[in-house]
Structure 1
Amino acid sequence: MRSGNEPVTARSPLRLRFWLSLWGMIWAAAGAAVFSVVGRGGWAAACAALFVLAAVDLAVVVRHIHQGPHYQPGRNIPPYEPPHPGPPHPR
């Protein structure tokens, strides 16, 4: 729901999330490799799980970047009225 007080130049930080996810993937892969070499299986598994989480986030971010900008109402569009509670719908 649009309240009418959104910033005029608001932008989504997708590129920042892209680079942070990539950075996290690099560190998680390095951590998993180092911990598996020194014989710390639990920490290697935790780093591998973080790697998977960062990879999923990176895939979502890339998908949203490829979708492109979406329509956003301009200044001349008034804010939407909040929904008014009405009678319950019959079932």
Structure 2
Amino acid sequence: MIRMRTGSEPTTARSALRARFWLSVWGLVWAVFGTAAFALAGRPGWAAACGILWLVVTVDMAVVLRHIRQGPHYQPGRDIPPYRPPESRLR
């Protein structure tokens, strides 16, 4: 059975950007804490690993914030019909 696009996807689709932002905040807090704690405990390897994680989380947060600030992108309206299913080549 070929599943056909219903045409309601653009209006029902939801982005998880805000959830991803808050998870990045949570990860940023723990990465900063881990970097400071391991640096104070004299574990430079673990402090460096947490520092790299801190960098990755910060870049991810910047990308998420950029996408949130861009706002919604073009989505076809109700006047655009659903896609036609591909023609079967089994004939």
- TM-score interval, smaller chain: 0.7 to 0.9
* Gap runs ≥5 in structure 2: 86-91
The aligned amino acid for 2:40 is: V
Which residue of 1 is the match for residue 68 of structure 2? 65
What does 1:69-80 align with in structure 2 at a 5 Å threshold?
A: 69-80=72-83
The SS at the match of 2:12 is coil
CA distance in 1, matches of 2:80, 2:16: 24
Aligned-residue sequence identity (percent) comes to: 64
Q: Give 1 or 2: higher helix fraction.
A: 2
Corresponding position of 2:88: none
Counterpart of 1:19 (choices 4, 17, 22) is 22
Question: How far 1:4 sits from its partner (Å)?
Answer: 2.0
TM-score, normalization by structure 2: 0.76
Larger relative contact order (CA 8 Å, sep ≥ 6): 2
CA positional deviation for 1:8? 4.5
Distance in 2 of aligned mates of 1:81 and 1:48: 50
Task: Please list every run of 5 or more consecutive structure 1 residues that lacks an aligned counterpart in the other structure.
Answer: 83-91
Q: 1:40-77, CA deviations, whole angstroms, 9 ceiling, x for partnerless residues?
A: 11110000000000000000011011100111123442
Which residue of the partner structure matches residue 85 of structure 1?
none
Is 1:38–2:32 an aligned residue pair? no
Contact 1:29–1:48 (CA under 8 A) maintained in structure 2: yes
TM-score by length of 1: 0.76
Structure 1 residue 80: Cα displacement: 4.6
Distance 2:56 2:24 in 1: 9
